[in-house]
């Protein structure tokens, strides 16, 4: 699977570990920046990942900022992007299995590199279950998105 990866300066300390974890899980990372710890704006990187998913260049994305909050909010403004901050492995896999999450958001000032690697493995190893109750709930969410 192709995985779009991007961060602002606050998420930059996790970037190399995340790229390594994507590769170690047998997937192909698409590195969309940033390439330095210089100050940047997180909405720009959320937009890059959303665009890669919309264009079919990536099936999932991983975004990082200082807390994970700002980049998650920005990502969820893009149609078809279902992003969540996950700082525990249960949420990282359950978000995919039950909620069809396609973008994992991490806080570079909140978690360390080893936990980030575990979260990436959990996220990328998960598959949407497609159970009726989860699909019903997901379609209700999509309906809200269509109203915008």
Catalytic residue among 7, 9, 27, 65: 65
pTM: 0.97
98 carries an active-site annotation: yes
Task: Calculate what percentage of the chain has a pLDDT beyond 70.
Answer: 99
127 carries an active-site annotation: no
Three-state DSSP at 137 gives helix
Q: Span 2-147: which CATH code? A: 3.40.1400.10
pLDDT tens-digit readout, 28-72 = 999 999 999 999 999 999 999 999 999 999 999 999 999 999 999
- Selection from 36, 64, 38, 39 nearest residue 49 by Cα: 64
Nearest-angstrom CA–CA distance, 54 and 134: 23
Helix-then-strand count for the chain, H and E:
6, 5
Residue 148 reports pLDDT greater than 90:
no
């Amino acid at each position: 699977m192709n995985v779009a990866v991007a961060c602002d300066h606050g998420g930059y300390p996790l970037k190399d570990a995340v790229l390594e974890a994507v590769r170690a899980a047998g997937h192909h990372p698409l590195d969309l920046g940033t390439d330095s710890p210089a100050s940047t704006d997180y909405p720009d990187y959320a937009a890059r990942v959303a665009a890669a998913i919309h264009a079919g260049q990536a099936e999932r994305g991983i975004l990082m900022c200082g807390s994970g909050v700002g980049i998650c909010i920005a990502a969820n403004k893009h149609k078809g992007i279902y992003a969540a901050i996950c700082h525990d492995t249960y949420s990282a896999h359950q978000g995919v299995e039950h909620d069809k999450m396609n973008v994992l958001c991490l806080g570079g000032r909140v978690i360390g590199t080893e936990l980030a690697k575990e979260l990436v493995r959990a996220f990328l190893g998960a598959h949407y279950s497609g159970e009726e109750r989860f699909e019903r709930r997901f379609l209700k969410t999509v309906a809200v998105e269509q109203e915008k």
